[in-house]
Amino acid sequence: MKASVFIATSVDGFIAREDGALDWLPGDDVEEHGYMAFTATVDAIVMGRHTFETVLGFGAWPFEKLVIVLSSRASELVAPEGAACEFMSGTPREVVERLAERGLKHLYIDGGVTIQRFLEAGLIQRMIITRIPVLLGSGIPLFGPLSRDVRLEHVATRSYRGGLVQSEYTIASSPRSE
């Protein structure tokens, strides 16, 4: 199973304000920066409950792919009408094993805590991080504590007219498994 990350951060490394707000992200007029091509390669999106709740606040459900929402209280969550959305609990490794048994081959891992947990478990192979030209000063960081260094191999860095800078990495060495 392949698991990848495609996420935006502020230049100082935050994925959201402390209250979860995303008002600092560019609007709909931002140039295409590979997101559509990336999502075309994945079988499902895996996110945590907080990210799911943030997405619900967008109004219309933005995903056409299957979305797996991780939560220890999965039975309390309700999928938006018409959304291909399932709720699951378990460790990252258990989730990956269950989805692999169903024939899924490539997962898009989204949301700070979920990315951190999958990275710590050694389950992410590719990361595409787009830096937005803004400093927030504080907020929810993309990365958290790890049990050891995770070495990255740089694949490419691209810059866009609007000031976005996107770097792609593969994981050279993974932290120990859960």
Going by pLDDT thresholds of 50, 70 and 90, the confidence category of residue 94 is: very high
Number of domains in the chain: 1
103: domain CATH number is 3.40.430.10
The verdict on residue 177 lying in a domain is: no
Domain limits at 35? 2-171
The verdict on residue 176 lying in a domain is: no
Q: Is the pLDDT of residue 37 over 90?
A: yes
pLDDT attached to residue 173 = 63
Strands 152-159, 44-48: pairing is unpaired
The verdict on residue 178 lying in a domain is: no
Q: Is the pLDDT of residue 130 over 50?
A: yes
Q: For residue 4, what are the contacts with CB-CB under 8 A and spacing of at least 6? A: 38, 42, 106, 107, 108, 109, 124, 125, 126, 127, 128
Going by pLDDT thresholds of 50, 70 and 90, the confidence category of residue 178 is: very low
